[in-house]
Structure 1
Amino acid sequence: MNEINRNRYLPAGLAATTLVAGAWAVRDYGQWRRLGDGGLPHNAGGWLRMTAMRLRARGRFGGTSHNQEEEISPILLDLQARGGTRPKAAPHPVPNRVVDQHAPAPVKQALVSVFDDFSRSDSPPLEYRTSRWEKHHNALCLKGDAYPHAISRGASGELGHVHPSDGSMHMILSPADGRLVLDLGWGEFHPLAGVMLELPATYTLIYPPRSLAEIAPIRAILSAAVGYMTGQPATPTPTRGSSA
């Protein structure tokens, strides 16, 4: 092909590429918007920032190992495999959500009740505060500022929260507990954990409970997160009306 013919096809190729890229951007932006609020502005600017973050995303099931001498939390020693298929995580790192297997409304309500129970704990002292990462809803946090180690200090005491849109959660687990939770099918690592946004390396997406039967295992995982982040075991007695 001579130079004249080559130059003739360049504009057409550029136009086709632009159309494909534009169609992808419109579709992806719509999918991202449907995930709901997260830690970024829910507009085109937030989408552009999230798109840049994709370049830094890590694998959701690897990249974090634990010292074989580190023990799994006792409350998780009897944790059984979740069973069935994993939900599909959205390709967008922020907000980190799943696009199927959402928690039914009654199950989500029971899940929130579990977090409510822990929020009233005095030993260790816990409370709700606005999530430093999600920014739009409450997170379970250590009360006060006496953080037992660098991970809890770096997280400003935040240890877990529920996402109202789908019933999934984020929790910060010990490396051993995080690996166990992944291996048994209860969750996956946040794609930016240990990479960006000051997220701890074991910042873990816990899948939404599909039934009331899955509330008790999730309660155990949350208790392990509380124990890791506070240095104290925490198993508060469920209040009246709790379904855990």
Structure 2
Amino acid sequence: MENKLSLTLRSGQSPETTDRLPHSQLTQHGPDHIIDKLHEWCFSLPRVVSEQSGISVPGSRALVINDGVECNRKAFMVGREFAHIHPYPDNGSMHVKLQREDALEVTGKGWGEDHYLVKQGLYPVGLVMVFSPRDDEELETVKSIVKKSYEYATGEAPR
């Protein structure tokens, strides 16, 4: 695998989020055209298909690795789902599975927070909510995080 994730600090304060299930972002959502770009890019990753999430709120689109692709089972939330994008009104926040070090980088630099279940001690560090990208620059950072999640699942960086 590639080097560990190295992010810049996210600007501004963290968005408000829920402190219960479903774990949701309440403020600072990205505009529709940015979220559309996020969807388009995520579902163009090799060997990834878009499915209804098997674990998130209705309307969430899961990034699922195709059957038959050798994968790291620890990298999935459920089935072969390694990430999902939340629908409106969350509009673009995501949950992703990451290696512990990468998850700590995301949360430490303000790009996301531990999932509610991690905060409650019910799930190990590595399940992170990534905040909705607010502009094209933030979209690139979110893509880099999703790439690390993909790499964790497949053992390969996406091309």
Please say whether Structure 1 and Structure 2 have the same fold, judged by a TM-score greater than 0.5: yes
Q: Post-superposition shift, 1:178? A: 0.3
Question: Do structure 1's residue 227 and structure 2's residue 151 form an aligned pair?
Answer: yes
Q: Which residue of 2 aligns with 1:155?
A: 78
CA contact (8 A) 2:95 2:129 kept: yes
The partner residue of 1:209 within 133, 143, 149 is 133
Bigger strand fraction: 2
The partner residue of 2:5 within 76, 94, 97 is 76
The partner residue of 2:14 within 86, 97, 101 is 86
Q: Post-superposition shift, 1:204? A: 0.6
In structure 2, runs of 5+ residues without a counterpart are: none
Q: Deviations over 1:33-63 (max 9, x none)?
A: xxxxxxxxxxxxxxxxxxxxxxxxxxxxxxx
Larger Rg: 1
Q: Post-superposition shift, 1:201? A: 3.8
**Change beyond 3 A, Cα 1:135–1:84:** closer
Bigger helix fraction: 1
Q: Secondary structure at the match of 2:138?
A: helix
- Please provide the CA RMSD for this pair: 2.2
Q: Which residue of 1 aligns with 2:28?
A: 101
C-alpha distance in structure 1 between counterparts of 2:85 and 2:150, whole Å: 14
C-alpha distance in structure 2 between counterparts of 1:231 and 1:175, whole Å: 15
C-alpha distance in structure 2 between counterparts of 1:232 and 1:201, whole Å: 22
Instruction: Kindly indicate whether structure 1 or structure 2 has the higher relative contact order, using CA contacts under 8 Å at least 6 residues apart.
Output: 2
Listed as ranges, the matches of 1:11-90 within 5 Å are 73-74=2-3, 76-77=5-6, 79-90=7-18
Q: Secondary structure at the match of 2:95?
A: strand
C-alpha distance in structure 1 between counterparts of 2:151 and 2:63, whole Å: 13
C-alpha distance in structure 2 between counterparts of 1:117 and 1:200, whole Å: 29
**Change beyond 3 A, Cα 1:94–1:83:** same
Q: Which amino acid aligns with 1:89?
A: T
CA contact (8 A) 1:151 1:200 kept: no
C-alpha distance in structure 1 between counterparts of 2:112 and 2:77, whole Å: 22
**Change beyond 3 A, Cα 1:153–1:113:** closer
Q: Which residue of 2 aligns with 1:174?
A: 99
Q: Post-superposition shift, 1:200? A: 5.7
Q: Secondary structure at the match of 1:170?
A: strand
Q: Which residue of 2 aligns with 1:143?
A: 66
C-alpha distance in structure 2 between counterparts of 1:76 and 1:229, whole Å: 15
Question: Do structure 1's residue 132 and structure 2's residue 59 form an aligned pair?
Answer: no
C-alpha distance in structure 2 between counterparts of 1:109 and 1:216, whole Å: 13
C-alpha distance in structure 1 between counterparts of 2:116 and 2:28, whole Å: 20
Q: Post-superposition shift, 1:102? A: 1.1
Q: Secondary structure at the match of 2:43?
A: helix
CA contact (8 A) 1:178 1:202 kept: yes
Q: Deviations over 1:86-124 (max 9, x none)?
A: 001123x22211111011111111221221222xx1xxx
Q: Percent identity?
A: 26
TM-score scaled to structure 1, two decimals? 0.57
Question: Do structure 1's residue 117 and structure 2's residue 44 form an aligned pair?
Answer: yes
Question: How many residues align structurally?
Answer: 154
